[in-house]
Amino acid sequence: MGQVARVVLYLILLITAFAFIMPVYVMVVNSLKPLDEIRNGDLMALPIAWTVEPWLMAWSKSQIGVQATGLRPYFINSFLLVIPSVVLSTLIGALNGYILTQFKFKFADTLFAAMLFSVFIPFQIVLIPMAKTLGFLGLAGTVKGLIFVNTVYGIGFTTLFFRNYYAAFPNELVRSARMDGAGFFGVLYKILLPNSAPIIVVTVIWQFTNIWNEFLFGASFSDYTSFPLTVALNNLVSASTGVKEYNVHFAGAFIAAIPTLVVYLVSGKYFVRGLMAGSVKG
Amino acid sequence: MKAGWLPKLLITPSAFLVLVCVYGYIMFTVYLSFTASTILPNLEWSGTAAYTRLFGLENWGVSLNNLWVFASLYILIAMGLGLMLAILIDQKVRAESGFRSIFLYPMALSFIVTGTAWKWLLDPGVGLEHTLHALGWGDFSFGWIKDSEMAIYCVIVAAVWQTTGFVMAMFLAGLRGVDGEQINAARLDGASPLQIYYRIIIPQLGPVFISAFVILAHMAIKSYDLVIALTNGGPGRSTWLPSVFMYQYTFTRNEMSVGAASSVLMLLGIAVVVLPYLYSELRKGNHG
């Protein structure tokens, strides 16, 4: 490739990279400005009078529910929701993947196909009966209810991940362990799980990102005590009363983005692998 | 190995949950769409009245039309841009992994975060227009997000920003899997780099195009969070999508049967796109 073409190539990549970074740059820079600097200045400029006040407002002072609690309680809600949901759905996925690949039984393929399709359904189709179910179980408007919902609708993904991973697992290892007398759990604990680190990481990252970012279930099944962070953030930003505090909104949005961004930066490789595994089925 | 009672027992809870909470609920919602349910489910059969009403509603027409505009442009641009970035990055560029990380990181964000950032970026009072005015370009005007004709294009911009990196990663994986010998042979025959891409490489990416299309199309039909955060369906109802329609009619306007009918149509739309794909993928899997 010629010199000129190379320069053009880098130029296009750099401009595109700039466009991809710009929204988050704007978010961070303007979350550190007083409001009048945003109103009178431009969004690209660095702050003149740096301030962390918008962050404090977003974190612990701004009005979200009935009370001016900031995003903090909802940030905690999201963790209380995400951790059990991720652990449960990952464990279930590992167990299902093991059973679906190592044992033959009637309807196994049908069951897997049914789980696979469940990954794609628009969740609007289950909202009404799920609302009834949560009400019936006494879980409406609770974090527990959201854990239940996110776990149930995560099973399809986690089963898919583990099934595909175990389907490619060397069969000799499993067979020789069985020869040595390992039972159902023996094979799982001693052979499969110790060799599952990559797929466990992929699944945990995938589930963490998905459930942390989830909005529809949160908006449908929670109330002021149990909002996940996404719902609280949306309430903060779309509250129509009073002055629009752009700097506080940007700070809040960045707070909501931090956990998944950290996960992405620390484990980008596995994040991509999850995306790929989620897109190439079968 | 043939399954004994233990594996069957242990997979039963999952099978039960998926059967009930996915397929049972789908059937329940389908049934509701043939009733006259309003604020609460009402199990009395009323035929296709909800569908007749749905198709007569202007709000549904607007939602469908928006989905069509949104989905077609979103898929086209995300795929075009994703393929372009993948090809550019595949030219043995320096800092390749840096570029990849930058293009892909929006996928880690919630649509609510994306929506919030772009809502103010596109807002003429504080965002790009305001910024360019402050920099001296006084006659620059960019008010799409406040314009009911143009607001849907703002949703496309934000959605493209969020998912293009994902499409790029898919194409990049595809490019790395293309048979190198064919390329070398073509090069020896004097084919230009452009011809090589056009004639040899891109045709081999067929499966990636299909995967990317299915993923993007199903995401487009499911899109909800982004619209809520970015425009909340407005100005007016100008950026409603079927997902927004469903939520509005079911939970705000107390026309549950109409809401249910709209979600059934969303499911049908996704099934038409996804089922043939899954069928062929599963068959491929079974034949090696």
pLDDT tens per residue, range A162-211: 998 998 888 888 888 888 888 899 999 988 999 999 899 999 999 999 99
DSSP state for residue B108 in the 8-state scheme: G
Give the structural domain span for A102: 72-279
How far apart CA A113 and CA A115 sit, in angstroms, is: 5
Among chain B residues, the shortest Cα distance to A217 is held by B225
Q: Which of A4, A6, A121, A148 to mutate to test the interface with B (most CBs of B within 10 A)?
A: A121
What are the tens digits of pLDDT across the range B209-219?
999 999 999 99
CATH number for the domain including A257? Answer: 1.10.3720.10
- The shortest CB-CB distance from B116 to any of A128, A219, A237 is to A237
Taking residues B259-286, report their average pLDDT: 89
**pLDDT of B124 above 70:** yes
pLDDT score for B257: 92
**pLDDT of A243 above 50:** yes
Alpha helices in chain B (DSSP H): 5-18, 25-32, 49-56, 58-89, 96-104, 111-121, 128-134, 151-176, 180-188, 193-195, 202-204, 206-222, 225-230, 242-247, 256-286
Interchain pair A17, B222: CB under 8 A: no
Q: So what's the ipTM on this one? A: 0.91
Predicted TM-score (pTM) of this structure: 0.91
DSSP state for residue B190 in the 8-state scheme: T
- The shortest CB-CB distance from A272 to any of B1, B19, B169 is to B169
Q: Is the dihedral of CA A154, A230, A64, A218 positive or negative?
A: negative
Contacts of A26 in chain B (CB under 8 A): 117, 120-121
The CA–CA distances, whole Å, from A205 to A83, A87, B84 equal 11, 11, 28
DSSP state for residue A48 in the 8-state scheme: S
Among chain B residues, the shortest Cα distance to A246 is held by B120
How far apart CA A164 and CA A167 sit, in angstroms, is: 5
Taking residues B232-239, report their average pLDDT: 89
Taking residues B181-206, report their average pLDDT: 85
**pLDDT of B175 above 80:** yes
Q: Is A180 exposed, middle or buried (0-12, 13-18, 19+ CB in 10 A)?
A: exposed
What are the tens digits of pLDDT across the range B32-73?
999 988 888 888 888 888 999 999 999 999 999 999 999 999
Across A102-116, B194-208, B259-273, least confident range: B194-208
Cα B254 from chain centre: 27
Q: Which of A13, A139, A163, A260 to mutate to test the interface with B (most CBs of B within 10 A)?
A: A13
How far apart CA B142 and CA B161 sit, in angstroms, is: 18
Across A22-26, A38-42, B204-208, least confident range: A38-42
Question: Residue ranges per domain, chain B?
Answer: 58-286
Taking residues A116-130, report their average pLDDT: 93
How far apart CA B115 and CA B225 sit, in angstroms, is: 8
Residue in A217, A7, A250 with CA at minimum distance from that of residue A133: A217
HEC per residue, A53-91: HHHHHHHHHCCCCCCCCCCHHHHHHHHHHHHHHHHHHHH
Interchain pair B110, A129: CB under 8 A: no
Q: Which of A120, A231, A260 to mutate to test the interface with B (most CBs of B within 10 A)?
A: A120
The CA–CA distances, whole Å, from B124 to A37, A251, B128, B129, B147 equal 16, 20, 7, 5, 11
Contacts of B3 in chain A (CB under 8 A): 99, 103-105
Contacts of A263 in chain B (CB under 8 A): 108
pLDDT score for B287: 52
- The shortest CB-CB distance from B121 to any of A9, A23, A40 is to A23
Percent of chain B past pLDDT 90, that is, above it, reads 59
- Report angle CA B64, B69, B74 to the nearest 5 degrees: 125
pLDDT score for A231: 95
What dihedral do alpha carbons B250, B255, B229, A87 form, nearest 10°? 0
Q: How many domains does chain A have?
A: 1
Contacts of B173 in chain A (CB under 8 A): 276
Q: Is the dihedral of CA B118, B119, B124, B127 positive or negative?
A: negative
Residue in A141, A154, A148, A146 with CA at minimum distance from that of residue A217: A146
Looking at this protein, which amino acid is placed at residue B94? R
Taking residues B75-79, report their average pLDDT: 97
**pLDDT of A96 above 60:** yes
Interchain pair B108, A38: CB under 8 A: no
Percent of chain A past pLDDT 90, that is, above it, reads 61
What six digits make up the tokens of B68?
């069509």
Residue showing tokens 């081999």: B204
- Any B CB within 8 A of A2 CB: no
Whole-number CA gyration radius for chain A: 23
pLDDT score for B260: 94
- Whether the ω angle into residue B242 lies within 30 degrees of 0, i.e. cis, is no
Residue in B114, B127, B116 with CA at minimum distance from that of residue A238: B116
pLDDT score for B286: 61
Going by pLDDT thresholds of 50, 70 and 90, the confidence category of residue A42 is: confident
Q: Are B4 and B238 in contact (CB under 8 A)?
A: no
What six digits make up the tokens of A208?
């963490």
pLDDT score for A281: 43
Q: Are B222 and B107 in contact (CB under 8 A)?
A: no
- Any B CB within 8 A of A115 CB: yes
Going by pLDDT thresholds of 50, 70 and 90, the confidence category of residue B288 is: very low
What six digits make up the tokens of A62?
């701004």
CATH T-level topology, domain B58-286: MetI-like fold (1.10.3720)
- Answer whether residue A17 is part of any domain: no
- Answer whether residue A65 is part of any domain: no
Q: Which of B42, B60, B120, B209 to mutate to test the interface with A (most CBs of A within 10 A)?
A: B120
Contacts of A41 in chain B (CB under 8 A): 134
Residue in B269, B68, B160 with CA at minimum distance from that of residue A121: B269
What six digits make up the tokens of B75?
């898929």
Among chain A residues, the shortest Cα distance to B118 is held by A23
pLDDT score for A35: 86
Percent of chain A past pLDDT 70, that is, above it, reads 97
